[in-house]
Amino acid sequence: MTDTTETPALAMQTGLLAELQDRFRRSAEYVVIPILALIVSGVLFSIFLLALGKSPADFFALVWRGGFGTSFSWQNTLVRSAPLIFTALCVAIPARLGLVIIGGEGALVLGGFAAAAIAVPMIDWAPVFVLLPVMVVAAIAAGGIWIGAVGALRHYRGVNETIASLLMFYIAVSVLNFFVEGLLRDPSDPNKPSTRPIGSENMIGVIPGTDVHWGLIVGVLLCVLLYLVMNRTTFGFAAQIAGGNLRAAQAQGLPVGKLMVVACAIAGACAGLAGFFEVAAIHGKANASLIAGYGFTGILVSFLARHNPLVIVPVAIFLGGIAASGGLVQRRMDLPDATVLVLQGLLFIVILVSETFYGRLSFFKPKGDR
Amino acid sequence: MSQEPGLMTVLLAMFAGAIRVSTPFLFVSLGEMLTEKSGRINLGLEGTLVFGAMSGYAISYHTGSPWLGVLVAGICGAGFGALHGFLCKLPKVNDIAIGISLMLFGTGLAFFFGKAYIQPSAPRLPSISFGGWSDHPGIRQALEINPLFLLGIVLAIFLWWALKNTRYGLIIRTTGDSAPAALALGINVNKVRLLSTMAGGFFAGVGGSFLSLYYPGSWTEGLSSGQGLMAVALVIFARWHPIYCFWAALLFGAAGALGPALQSIGISRGYHFFNAAPYILTLIIMIASTSPRRSLKGAPGELSITK
């Protein structure tokens, strides 16, 4: 759409058309490559199943039924998707700055623990509308500080964020175990060391007509909000620049350190919120059940979604569905439940490898560049 | 000794624990060290370790030879290393993310094929008794040493010598410190990294087979307590030095044994923080020894985690 003043109308129109075509080709890349990657992993996994003498068609039909086929399986899927949405955000937001955070599980565990711990002294007297907000704040603060510290260490001390967040996951787990098996252990529960239950009257309910708790809605809204923040605000723009070229961002006078800490704190807060919902909507107390691997699957979700908050929602539902179908696959096909893990790992590898094709397939390039 | 039986018990338990638990740490960290020396990081060694544990156990069960199991575990590990090395050489493919995906994939495959081996018991690796001189049963038990532990020490010394004094060591170090310099010397960077990752995977697989074939000594899904991931921290802790890797592995093993040892003499408080001690220590060392302007001392220049 350059120098439109001098070009005749017709040329302008064809120019416009060509530009639209080019644009379409370039954005088609972001749709076609992931779909191809899904197909390739499906084919590879089918070969794996065939080699074991199992029918791939049966398998995929069962995954469909167990994950998305009935309203019951949909609800099962959505309950599993909710924490994945939050933990994927924990990877996606720092990824805009070029940071690879893999310790979202730690922020989830600590967030859930903080929510349950702060509730313990309040259960007897505080009404629900005081208790739950306090728990939310505690979870967000715990997760935010935890991952925010990783960002601060990265900027001010040059400590690698990937390793630091991983180490802090182990530390978070030991904090949880220390309190749950010691100071905050509920003596009336002889089985699994847990904090005192927050009580069913204080639990978050489900979306009317379903078994799915409100965390899903909050997660979807948070994705939209963070999409807008990362794509429509100065903060998001600055983060994008810092992620593209750190030196250039510093030369521009952008507060890179502050950006890193804030992005990481937002990320941690998201994962902390996941912990809150696990406690307030599912378990009712904090115990080792919080360490369910949602934080690690969230990494996969975020990479599949190419760190785009809006795409995280469908991807989380997709992977939640695969996980939900595990039980059915196990029962019907006599396959171990780890089958789903193999599929996830394969999917992850193929998606990562597909990154290499962006910008290299001539079909998607603008005409002049071929 | 009679004055402080509690302290002695704890020290002995830590000593025994250090020897018993450190072998997988030692092998995985030596593998990770070698891979990182060539300029790449493999976060997938956890998956390799678990798969090594499963395959070693399965082979030992079917053939009756635990040593064949160790070998096959190593070969499977080298296979995972080859996959990692091959995928990471593709442009725009992130080695950290590939590592995480291979961790998931390796663990998944191990659990998938390992279901059949949870029940049966396979022949275990033998141990060598070094404690004949002592009457103390605790000491005798602590000095029941597995040959793999000794092999690990030899490997650490060999790697230290080879990295410093041989042509291949120089090639690996050059590749890890500066890919352009290696290229200028006519070194095939991708090939060096592929082979280093494969060798690293081999060691990690062997480390995994120790878990299932010696201690704890059977295949279960909860066998690994994250040794493969901890190895990454351990290598940083050891500053990419093979001999320090050995000391660090002993320290991590002893720290892991401290909690149960304290429990055995009646101290149960703070038990979980002792489990976390290695991680806290590594984090403190990383904080203390890095700065935004220079990377860790001894770190390979090409390594993505220290850039």
User: Is residue A25 one of the residues assigned to a domain?
Assistant: no
Is B269 in Cβ contact with A181 (below 8 Å)?
A: no
- Give the confidence band of A115 by pLDDT, cuts at 50, 70, 90: very high
Residues of A in contact with B275 (CB under 8 A): 174, 177
Mutate to test the interface with B, among A352, A357, A358, A361 (most CBs of B within 10 A): A352
CATH of the domain at A110: 1.10.3470
Which residue of chain A comes nearest to B279, CA vs CA?
Answer: A167
Cα A238–chain centre separation: 22
Residue among A60, A199, A57, A175 at smallest CA distance from A119: A199
Residue A370's pLDDT band (cuts 50, 70, 90): very low
Q: What average pLDDT does this structure show over A297-318? A: 92
Q: Between B216 and B197, name the one with better pLDDT.
A: B197
Residue B280 phi, psi dihedral angles, 5° rounding: -65, -45
Sequence-ordered alpha helix ranges (H) in chain B: 5-37, 45-63, 66-88, 95-114, 137-142, 147-165, 167-177, 179-184, 189-213, 227-237, 242-264, 271-289
The pLDDT tens digits of the residues spanning A40-60 come to 999 999 999 999 898 999 999
Structural domain includes residue A315: yes
pLDDT at residue B3, rounded to an integer: 47
Please determine, for residue A7, whether its predicted confidence score (pLDDT) is greater than 80: no
B305 domain-assigned: no
Q: Element (H or E) spanning A214, and its range?
A: none
Q: Which domain does A203 fall in, by range?
A: 55-334
Distance from CA of A206 to the nearest CA of B (A): 32
Cα separation, B276 vs B280, in Å, equals 6
Residue A50 lies in a domain: no
**Band (A368; pLDDT cuts 50, 70, 90):** low
pLDDT of residue B306: 61
The 10s digit of each residue's pLDDT in A63-108 is 999 999 999 999 999 999 999 999 999 999 999 998 999 999 999 9
Q: Say which residue, B16 or A4, is predicted with more confidence.
A: B16
Residue B299 lies in a domain: no
- Residue A5 pLDDT exceeds 60: no
A170 in a structural domain = yes
| Predicted confidence band of residue A330 (pLDDT cuts 50, 70, 90) | confident
A3 compared with A343, residue with greater pLDDT: A343
- Which chain A residues touch B294 with a CB distance below 8 Å? 158
Residue A370 lies in a domain: no
Q: What is the per-residue pLDDT across A264-294, written as a single tens digit (0 to 9) for each?
A: 999 999 999 999 999 999 999 999 899 988 9
CB contact under 8 A, A157 and B279: no
How many whole angstroms separate alpha carbon A167 and alpha carbon B280?
7
Cβ contact B273–A163 (<8 Å):
no
Query: What pLDDT is attached to residue B282?
Result: 79
Residues of B in contact with A338 (CB under 8 A): 108-112, 115
For residue B307, is pLDDT > 70?
no
Nearest residue of chain A to residue B116 (CA atoms):
A336
> How many whole angstroms from its chain centre is CA A287?
22
| pLDDT class of A9 with cuts at 50, 70, 90 | low
pLDDT tens figures, B254-285: 877 777 777 777 776 666 777 787 788 878 87
Tell whether the model's pLDDT for residue B218 goes beyond 80.
Answer: yes
Which residues of chain A does B109 touch, with a Cβ-Cβ cutoff of 8 Å?
338, 342, 345
Amino acid sitting at position A364: F
The residue-averaged pLDDT of A323-332 equals 87
Chain A and chain B share a number of CB contacts under 8 A equal to 142
Question: Are B287 and A153 an interchain contact pair (Cβ–Cβ within 8 Å)?
Answer: yes
Count the domains in chain A: 1
Mean pLDDT of B284-307: 73
Residue A277 located in a structural domain? yes
Peptide bond connecting B216 to the previous residue in cis, omega within 30 degrees of 0: yes
What are the pLDDT digits (tens) for B174-198? 999 999 999 999 999 999 999 999 9
| Residues in chain A within 8 Å Cβ distance of B94 | 100, 352, 355
Give residue A328's identity as a one-letter amino acid code. L
| Nearest of B30, B4, B41 to residue B204 by alpha carbon | B30
Evaluate whether residue B199 is within a structural domain.
Answer: yes
Looking at CA atoms only, how far is residue A333 from chain B in angstroms? Answer: 13
Distance, CA of B72 to CA of B67 (rounded, Å): 9
A132 within domain boundaries: yes
Phi and psi of B145, rounded to 5°? -105, 135
Q: Closest approach of chain B CAs to the CA of A341, in angstroms?
A: 5
Contacts of B282 in chain A (CB under 8 A): 167
Using the predicted structure, report yes or no on whether residue A124 has a pLDDT greater than 90: no
Phi and psi at B73, nearest 5°, equal -60, -40
Residues 6+ apart with CB under 8 A from A133: none
Tell if the CB–CB gap between A356 and B90 is shorter than 8 Å.
Answer: yes
Q: Using a pLDDT cut of 90, give the percent of chain A over it.
A: 54
Asked if pLDDT for residue B78 goes beyond 70, the answer is yes
Best probe of the B interface among A170, A246, A303, by most B CBs < 10 A, is: A170
Question: Are A164 and B270 inside 8 Å of each other by CB?
Answer: no
pLDDT digits (tens, 9 = 90+) for A207-224: 888 888 999 999 999 999
Contact A356 B280 (CB under 8 A): no
CB contact under 8 A, B94 and A166: no
pLDDT digit string, tens, across residues A351-365: 899 988 887 777 776
For position B212, what pLDDT does the model report? 93
DSSP string, B165-193: HSHHHHHHHHHHH-HHHHHHTT--HHHHH
Who wins on pLDDT, A182 or A89? Answer: A89
| Best of A171, A174, A356 to mutate (most B CBs within 10 Å, chain B) | A174
Which CB contacts under 8 angstroms, 24+ apart, belong to A126-132?
Answer: A128/A201, A128/A202, A131/A198, A131/A202, A132/A202, A132/A204, A132/A280
ipTM of predicted assembly, 2 dp: 0.88
Q: Which residues of B touch A87 (CB under 8 A)?
A: none
SS3 state at A31: helix
Say whether A344 and B115 touch across the interface (CB within 8 A): no
Spatial separation of the C-alpha atoms in residues A227 and A219, rounded to whole Å: 12
CA–CA gap between residue A45 and residue A57 (Å, rounded): 11
Cβ contacts of A104 on chain B, cutoff 8 Å: none
Q: Residue A354: which H helix or E strand, with range?
A: helix A339-354
Cα distances (Å, whole numbers) of residue B164 to A365, B5, B36, B160, B296? 48, 45, 15, 6, 19
Locate the chain A residue with the closest alpha carbon to B277.
A171
Q: Quick check: A83 and A108 in contact, CB under 8 A?
A: yes
Q: Tens digits of per-residue pLDDT, B125-147?
A: 888 888 778 778 778 777 888 89
How many independent structural domains does chain B possess?
Answer: 1
Residue B157's CATH number: 1.10.3470
Distance of CA A255 to the CA centre of its chain: 26
* pLDDT score at B223: 86
Residue A17: band (very low, low, confident or very high) from pLDDT cuts 50, 70, 90: confident
Does B296 fall in a domain? no
Range of the domain at B257: 5-289
Above pLDDT 70, what percent of chain B? 93
| Residue B87 to residue A162, Cβ atoms within 8 A | no
Q: Is residue B301 part of a domain?
A: no
Section B214-242 average pLDDT: 86
* Within a domain: B307: no
Q: What is the mean pLDDT of chain B?
A: 87
Highest mean pLDDT of the ranges A82-86, A244-248, B248-252, B264-268: A82-86
The residue with greater pLDDT, A358 or A132, is A132
Tokens of A44: 């590879």
**Chain position carrying tokens 């040059």:** A158
**All residues at 6 or more sequence positions from B288 whose CB lies less than 8 Å from its CB, including other chains:** none
Domain assignment present for residue A347? The answer is: no
- Give B-chain residues touching A300 at CB under 8 angstroms: 100-101, 104
Sign of CA dihedral A22, B90, B101, A244: negative
Integer-rounded Cα Rg, in Å, for chain A is: 23
Q: Test B291 with A158 for CB contact under 8 angstroms.
A: yes
Out of A159, A163, A339, name the one closest to residue B112 (CB). Answer: A339
Residue B295 lies in a domain: no
What was the pLDDT predicted at B182? 94
Across B230-259, average pLDDT: 86
Residue B87 lies in a domain: yes
Give the mean pLDDT of B91-99.
Answer: 87
Across the interface, do A157 and B291 touch by the CB < 8 Å criterion? Answer: yes
Does residue A139 or residue B295 have the better pLDDT? Answer: A139
